[in-house]
Amino acid sequence: MLQPFTRVLDLGTGDIAPENRLVRRRLSDMRGAYAEDCDGAQVVYEVFNIDVPETNSELQTCTTRLYNGKVGDEYFMTKGHFHEVRDRSEVYLTTSGYGRLVMATEDGRYAIEEMRPGSMNYIPGGWSHRSVNVADEPLVFFAAYIGDSGHDYGSIEERGFPVLVVEGPSGPEVVPNPRYQSS
């Protein structure tokens, strides 16, 4: 039986004490994710993780801090992934900033939901998910998902998402992804 514990999250920045950074992705790690080439050491996002066993009785939790910025007209975004165990669901609670949550099924359906302080997005099993920062400040959200979900980044790296979120003349726009590989 696990022992109860507490971590303290900064709801404004996403920092977790004691710190346990899982991921720090720089522009150089995001090559191929954007229509335009990108490179360099600029940090796009960081994920802070709370470690628990990977079983379907536990809950994985983390915070994500997605910085503001663009590559061409595409906003900074996370890589996005499916769960390895496809039917496992996930929830996002945004605590700071503004964004879009892009989700897609393997057969090419997509859904876009808004992220803003207090929004609770439900990502059902079978939907890949990527967050996009559409504002001029970091987007910070808390995520919880079932312990044995796992991550499948490969499918997205190969096929992309059916749509992109880009900056248009009057704000964020959802446009077809010309490089999407339908199955």
On whether the CB atoms of residues 67 and 138 are closer than 8 A, the answer is yes
Footprint (CB under 8 A) of its own copies, residues 70-129: 87-91, 93, 95, 101, 103, 105, 111, 113-114, 116-127
Residue 46: count other Cβ atoms within 10 Å of its Cβ.
Answer: 19
Q: If we measure between CA atoms, which residue out of 180, 133, 183 comes closest to residue 33?
A: 180
Nearer to its own copies, 74 or 90 (CB): 90
How many residues in the shown chain lie near its own copies by CB under 8 A?
49
Binding mask 5-44 for its own copies (x = CB under 8 A): xxxxxxx----x----------------------------
d(CA 27, CA 30): 5
> Does the footprint of its own copies cover residue 183 (CB under 8 A)?
no
Q: Where are the extended beta strands (E) located within 27-80?
A: 43-50, 59-66, 70-71, 74-75
Residue 160 backbone zone (phi > 0: left; psi -120 to 50: alpha; other: beta): left
> Does the footprint of its own copies cover residue 163 (CB under 8 A)?
no
Q: If we measure between CA atoms, which residue out of 50, 28, 26 comes closest to residue 39?
A: 28
On whether the CB atoms of residues 67 and 101 are closer than 8 A, the answer is no
Q: Cβ 166 to its own copies, closest distance in Å?
A: 21
On whether the CB atoms of residues 79 and 158 are closer than 8 A, the answer is no
Nearer to its own copies, 96 or 177 (CB): 96
Nearer to its own copies, 50 or 174 (CB): 50
Nearer to its own copies, 38 or 102 (CB): 102
Q: Give the interface with its own copies as residue ranges (CB under 8 A).
A: 1-11, 16, 50, 52, 56-59, 61, 87-91, 93, 95, 101, 103, 105, 111, 113-114, 116-127, 142, 144-147
